[in-house]
Structure 1
Amino acid sequence: MTTAEQNPLRELSPQDLRAHAAEALTRARARSLVLTDVDDETLTTQHSKLMSPLVWDLAHIGSQEELWLVRDVGGREPVRGDLDEIYDAFLHARADRPSLPMLGPEDARGYVREVREKSLEILEKVPLSGRRLLADAFAFGMITQHEQQHDETMLATHQLRQGDPVLHAPNPPKSAGPLPSEVLVPGGPFQMGTSAEPWALDNERPAHETVVEAFFIDTTPVTNGAYTEFLDSGGYDDPQWWSEPGWAYRQDNGIVAPRFWKREIDGWWRTRFGVYERVPAAEPVVHVSFYEAEAYAKWAGRRLPTEPEWEKAARFDPASGRSRRFPWGDDEPREEHANLGQRHLRPAEVGAYPAGASPLGVHQLIGDVWEWTSSDFHGYPGFAAFPYREYSEVFFGPEYKVLRGGSFGTDAAAIRGTFRNWDYPIRRQIFSGFRCARDAGPGEID
């Protein structure tokens, strides 16, 4: 098995690496400003107890950047040391953040602007070596990803807010044509995780050999049309399809359909960023919990893939035996590869990105919807927390399920074939969907 990892970022000169990091930071900030370019009431209101006020997220972005880039990397005096506790996500639950003495909209904008000016000055001068935090501009990549992750959280907050649309984007491309329903993934070893990706976060490391048995996986995520069949067959009313905790969750919370869906006389409709529209059959289903995904899979006579199965389907190249950075290869995502970066405010129809398919012929593994797996979140063999335990390690355990692949709200800087997301199995406000898998029978393997 060939295990050498390829990474174009490692080939950049120091000057080009600085430019790459600056561009990534700048793109993230441009998105943050779009998401917070709303009236003060919208910024300061808590639109759901599941989320922070938008203005808290904005200042928190600046606070984390100040801690890591200005103080740690740059060795400079605090910009606003009095804000550290207010914007510490581990000290304050989201439901409690509106009661904090937060910065107002204009002060928050001024704060993040001042911090960013200092960060870019530091990026121009600091050596990108000598410390693990500085090697390959890791600290700048980490802060870029942190901001983009909060941008996706803020996008989810926009989905939860009431009122007319304030975000706008063109529709994604249409399907390029029908595809097979499933793909066979061969059994055997492959390299999971990474030791070479410069900006990979600690839970993606280290690379290690993993063996999976042969299995079939859906060519695309499960569509709204397919999910509607489960709904209309009474799937939400039949406990045989649900796990015990899933059924209790469904009953206790009165769950009858994916979040934001409503049944009308003429079928299913949904609310999407303030637009009320008919549910499009060809798009991946989104805003479903792990329990809903698990129930659908059982109803369909299938199951959710494990995390190793998902990653092998996404990265393994049977011709070389090597694991790629992305399904399509080692190059950074382009528009023809995947629906990322909030370019479109919805998932694309299945089959819309043929250029992004994996060597095995699995489509839309990156972008569109985060995909639930059946795996609990844990560290890989040899895991080491870096640069702080609170990013990953404190979440390890059976309470969290792993999601893979990113969504239409995930930026290219914050997704890879190795990137791991996690959440409680009840979560539905996130841009979550799924695809199914099944074991391969003896007569189905060549």
Structure 2
Amino acid sequence: MTLLDGRTEPSREASASDLFEKTRAQSLALAAPLSDEDMGLQSMEDASPPKWHLAHTTWFFEEFILKPSLPGYRPRDDRFALLFNSYYVQAGPRHTRSRRGLLSRPSVPDVLSYRAHVEDALRDGLDRDAFELEGDRLDELITLGCHHEMQHQELLVTDLLNAFSYNPLLPAYRAPGPAQVSAVSTPGWTCHDGGLIEIGHDGTGFAYDCEGPRHKVWLEPYRLADRPVTNGEWIAFMEDGGYTDQTLWLMEGWAVKEQNRWDSPLYWWRQDDAWWTFTLQGPRPVDLAAPVVHVSYYEADAFARWAGHRLPTEAEWEAAAAATRIQGNFLDSGALVPVGRRPGLWGDVWQWTSSAFSPYPGFTPPEGAIGEYNGKFMVNQMVLRGGSCATPQRQMRASYRTFFYPHQRWQMLGLRLAGDQ
């Protein structure tokens, strides 16, 4: 598959070591445009500094692969285990999440040296066949570590966008291109028969534990919009009093909206009688045909009610996606701005569903600290599907479940409408 910048996407069957090399290189490429000052920015507790993302993803390989299974491995600095653990209670104590931006030490060069130390150790262990792991377990852990790092690649750029948004200079992460003006497309619908279907990962290739077990779900006939909701449609919602009509909102959502004084998506403002937004390419006029992005579950639910429709369940979304080809713009392409040029289920923005993030029937987390990856977060969060312009393309699959709290907006979050037939 050829990416938008001309590079060729490696096959999903690439070896774990090859995936490791490409994933690690991609993280450094994402950090390359940043200054040392940029690398330490933390705008809120939900976000982390770019430097921390680079170090934490390195700690993951060290903690779960090198330390327990490579004889003779010596950490570069034992203190890094405290600094760069995130939420793995069984892996030991952790630095306070909200204070990651205060870690001026280790420096950026120290973090890059730490990355190189871990990478060299892993390569050497592979070359010598020195790991004390049975069967395919080593490849499985390396692959998990790579997909974990891909998730942090997405977080790195979205966290950075939030940090840059507080700078009055509104700096651009990527050099801005010409303003995009899209043709507004008429929304359409795809109809689905429903019935007894199966969802969840089918066992082919990589998946996170929360994507299984595969199980049966009954769906009534439904229809799904053939594209995400656009900025132009969102402006119509705003102009029709969408943010002031309490009857459209869930009670909790209204309280959050009032508390935070929301009257538009995150990063929007009014300028010269037009709506503008802040992106990774700096300030841009709002593209009326592009998917709306940076809206909470509460806002998405209110919009759906205003439009006379609803949000899809995750089972409806997955059933529709299972037969579609992956298309869209992804982190690998370097686009990093929602574009929404083609109808489809994939890319551009994550799409809120009406489904709570809960375990599938028969779900059992893995043993040990690695089992804390997803299971402990299965409460009070909502599932999103589809991936965004910041999602690495390797992570695109119909069963992939991401999840956020319903009030959160700083990720690339949008929506697609659904309805009953």
The residue correspondences of 1:288-307 to structure 2 (distance < 5 A) are 288-307=295-314
Task: Choose which of 330, 334, 342 in structure 2 pairs with 1:340.
Answer: 330
Answer whether contact 1:86 1:101 (CA < 8 A) is retained.
no
Equivalent residue letter for 2:337: R
Query: Does the alignment pair 1:84 with 2:81?
Result: yes
Q: Deviations over 1:310-360 (max 9, x none)?
A: 111111x4xxxxxxxxx22xxxx5xxx321125212112242xxxxxxxxx
Task: Choose which of 371, 376, 388 in structure 2 pairs with 1:394.
Answer: 376
Shift of 1:173: 10
The residue correspondences of 1:367-406 to structure 2 (distance < 5 A) are 367-386=347-366, 388-397=370-379, 399-406=380-387
Answer whether contact 1:297 1:303 (CA < 8 A) is retained.
yes
In structure 1, the residue matched to 2:415 is 434
State TM-score, norm by structure 1: 0.82
In structure 1, the residue matched to 2:5 is none
Q: Taking structure 1 as reference, are residues 120 and 73 closer, same or farther at Cα in structure 2, changes over 3 Å only?
A: same
Q: Taking structure 1 as reference, are residues 172 and 265 closer, same or farther at Cα in structure 2, changes over 3 Å only?
A: closer
Answer whether contact 1:18 1:123 (CA < 8 A) is retained.
no
Secondary structure of the 2:302 match is: helix
In structure 2, the residue matched to 1:122 is 125
Secondary structure of the 1:51 match is: coil
Secondary structure of the 1:66 match is: helix
Q: Taking structure 1 as reference, are residues 294 and 89 closer, same or farther at Cα in structure 2, changes over 3 Å only?
A: same
Equivalent residue letter for 2:137: L
Cα distance between partner residues in 1 of 2:104 and 2:401: 33
Task: Choose which of 132, 140, 143 in structure 1 pairs with 2:142.
Answer: 140
Cα distance between partner residues in 1 of 2:150 and 2:201: 21
State TM-score, norm by structure 2: 0.86
Cα distance between partner residues in 1 of 2:348 and 2:268: 18
Q: Taking structure 1 as reference, are residues 289 and 18 closer, same or farther at Cα in structure 2, changes over 3 Å only?
A: closer
Aligned residues: percent identity? 32
Q: Deviations over 1:28-71 (max 9, x none)?
A: 22221123222211112323343112211111111111112322
Q: Taking structure 1 as reference, are residues 313 and 127 closer, same or farther at Cα in structure 2, changes over 3 Å only?
A: farther
In structure 1, the residue matched to 2:114 is 111
Shift of 1:178: 4.6
Query: Does the alignment pair 1:154 with 2:156?
Result: yes
* Structure 2: 5+ residue stretches without partners: 1-10, 88-93
Counting matched residue pairs gives 394
Q: Deviations over 1:339-387 (max 9, x none)?
A: 1125212112242xxxxxxxxxxx4322111111111111111112126
The residue correspondences of 1:63-102 to structure 2 (distance < 5 A) are 63-79=59-75, 80-90=77-87, 91-100=94-103, 102=105
Query: Does the alignment pair 1:222 with 2:218?
Result: no
Cα distance between partner residues in 1 of 2:161 and 2:23: 19
Q: Taking structure 1 as reference, are residues 129 and 310 closer, same or farther at Cα in structure 2, changes over 3 Å only?
A: farther
Cα distance between partner residues in 1 of 2:135 and 2:180: 44
Between stretches 419-428 and 386-395, larger displacement belongs to 386-395
Q: Deviations over 1:248-299 (max 9, x none)?
A: 0000001110000012242211111252111001111111111110000000
Cα distance between partner residues in 1 of 2:401 and 2:59: 24
Equivalent residue letter for 1:379: P
Equivalent residue letter for 2:46: L
* Alignment root-mean-square deviation, CA: 2.6
Shift of 1:169: 7.7
